[in-house]
Chains A and B, each alone.
Chain A
Amino acid sequence: MALIIVAPILAVALFLVILEYADDDRFVIYGAVFLGAGAYWMIDVGRRMRAVDGWELLRSDPRPPVVYLRPFQEDQRRRYHDPVGDRQGGENAGPNSSTQATREPKIARQITRIGPFVAVGKPGDSLAPLGAARIYVSDDEWQETVTSLVRRAAAVVLQPEASPGTFWEVDLVGQIVDMRRVLLLVPDPVLRPLGFARVRELIAQALSVSLPLPGEGVACDAFMFDALGRPLPIVFKSSKALKPFVQQVLLVNGKREGAL
């Protein structure tokens, strides 16, 4: 908490010092940029340090959890402004800026209306990422933990990928979870038609669900499923994008949203 409060104050104080003593405008401009970035980083670290441990959250919140299943590399995946790769020759077009690719923090706030949002943490995490509360388990017990969590889950947020661990998770969800309680995160079929096609094939095999073809040109970030198992696309445009899914899950689980 201290970091979150101190970081912006420190940044402003240091900026005032620069303003007072710097006689070159460049120091002021670069100083502001570096201090802003530094403060942002410190606030981010502070928020991650404050993140609740998954086990603790499950103990303190009696509601059935919402389990987030994804490949671990999704936590670190970045979306780059320019194509990535070794480049030879020519002129440098500037640094290739990037942002976090995961949509986890975006959906976390809405999903927690259903229940505590938890995910198995990547072994070796120094700080848990923002979004779902992390549960850290050893390699030999993660499948047991995930099975137990999924069995009592109110809903499952599934981000399938072509990795053995995720195959197993998709299979597990297909066997024991009502599809109306599944939120399927997919690569945007307009921006990443090839990634979407890969996930579509995987889902067709493991869950016997047919997603629309990527060439149909409709952008979406996720799918929920109706009572007939039909996929309904969801776009994370607004903060209420997941409302239909939240309502459906609460209804399926025999609760009313207002009762919470």
Chain B
Amino acid sequence: MNDSVAFVEKMRAQTNRGSLWSEIKWGVLDLALAAWGILLLVVGDPTSYVGSRLMGAGMLIGAAIGAFFLVRGAVRRRSQAGHPLNLQFAAYGEADAVAQDIEADFQGRRFVARSVQVGRRWLCYAGKGQVTVRRLDHLVWVYTERVTHRINMIIPYRPATYQLLLWDYNGRGAAVPVRKRGAPPALAAVQNAVPWLFIGYSETLKESWNADRPEFIALVEARRQQALSRQSAS
């Protein structure tokens, strides 16, 4: 492995592991569906002979379709153009140039899987089946979102989880999983790198983002210009 691209390569390796994990997970589910279908076809339900065989055939067809999409997705993810990391890079220009810039930004830093990495220009995350790369100066609003998990929206079945919501000036959002304790330092790191963007959630920010987005983005741009001119003056 070339040392000059160590960070990106490690992120790529993590992305591949994440993809493999998703493929195995969905593959096992698909195989289970196929096995259940075969069982219904072979053994059947003596009380409803035709019904159980029809259901078995339907399950087999579903499993075959699922397998087709799984294989197609796996092949795509392994191609140069379809790799999840390259797809993230593609939003910011030529993949190699983006990779080099990220590498330069995180030079000397260790890549940590399933953890938000904030540099001076880039934010990177690679976890189980998710890879997110965002250029920090493209972001306009960042906050933490608490996700509750409830059955029928009433009964909680596992503790709330947290994720960092990153909105950029194209209206593109990314949700990056974080631990509850990890959210404030991640937000602080983003604010430190790009002090002009809006940090934290409020009804006013939400309404402005939803209803007055051009002004919202223009305001962030004005804050950016102000911060940069202050920086250059000092």
Let me know if B219 is at the binding interface, CB within 8 A: yes
Can you name the residue of chain B whose Cβ is closest to the Cβ of A29?
B152
Q: Tell whether A86 pairs with B210 under 8 Å between CB atoms, given A91-B147, A194-B215.
A: no
A194 contacts B173, CB within 8 Å?
A: no
Kindly report which residue of chain B lies nearest to residue A91, judged by CB atoms. B147
Flag whether B145 is at the interface (Cβ < 8 A): yes
Q: Does A191 contact B (CB under 8 A)?
A: yes
Query: In the complex, A198 Cα to B176 Cα: how many Å?
Result: 33
Chain A contacts for B212, CB-based, 8 A: 187, 192, 194-195, 198
Query: Which residues of A are found within 8 Å of B207, using beta-carbon distances?
Result: 79, 188, 191-192
Residue from the set B153, B175, B203, B207 with the largest chain A CB neighbour count within 10 Å = B207
- Are A83 and B215 neighbours in the complex by a CB distance under 8 Å? no
Q: Are B171 and A192 in contact (CB under 8 A)?
A: no
A124 within 8 A of B: no
A228 located at the interface, meaning its Cβ lies under 8 Å from any Cβ of chain B in the complex: no
Q: Which of A46-98 contact B (CB under 8 A)?
A: 77, 79-80, 82-94
Do A197 and B215 form a contact, CB below 8 Å, given A83-B167, A90-B163?
Answer: yes
Q: Which of B171, B203, B211 has the most CB of A within 10 A?
A: B211
A241 at interface by CB-CB < 8 Å: no
Nearest chain B CB to A82 CB, angstrom units: 7
Contact across chains for B147 and A93 when beta carbons are under 8 A apart: yes
- Find residues 191-231 in chain A having any chain B CB closer than 8 Å to their own CB: 191-195, 197-198
Chain B nearest CB: distance from A107 CB in Å? 19
CB distance from B189 to the nearest CB of A (A): 18
> Roughly how many angstroms separate A191 CA and B206 CA in the complex, as a whole number?
9
A37 on the interface (CB 8 Å rule)? no
Please tell me if the beta carbons of A83 and B204 are within 8 angstroms of each other in the complex. Answer: no
> Which of B147, B177, B210 is close to A83, meaning CB atoms less than 8 Å apart?
B210
Q: Does A237 contact B (CB under 8 A)?
A: no
Cα A197 to Cα B212 with chains together (Å): 10
Residues of chain A touching chain B, judged by Cβ–Cβ distance below 8 Å, are: 26, 29, 77, 79-80, 82-94, 101, 187-188, 190-195, 197-198
List residues of chain B with CB under 8 Å of any chain A CB.
Answer: 125, 130, 132, 141, 145, 147, 152-153, 161, 163, 165, 167, 171-177, 203-204, 206-212, 215-216, 219
A-B residue pairs in contact (CB < 8 Å), sample of 5: A89-B125, A89-B176, A90-B145, A192-B204, A194-B215
12 new A-B pairs (CB below 8 Å) besides A79-B210, A90-B175, A194-B215?
A: A80-B210, A85-B173, A87-B173, A87-B175, A88-B132, A89-B175, A90-B147, A93-B147, A187-B211, A191-B203, A191-B204, A192-B207
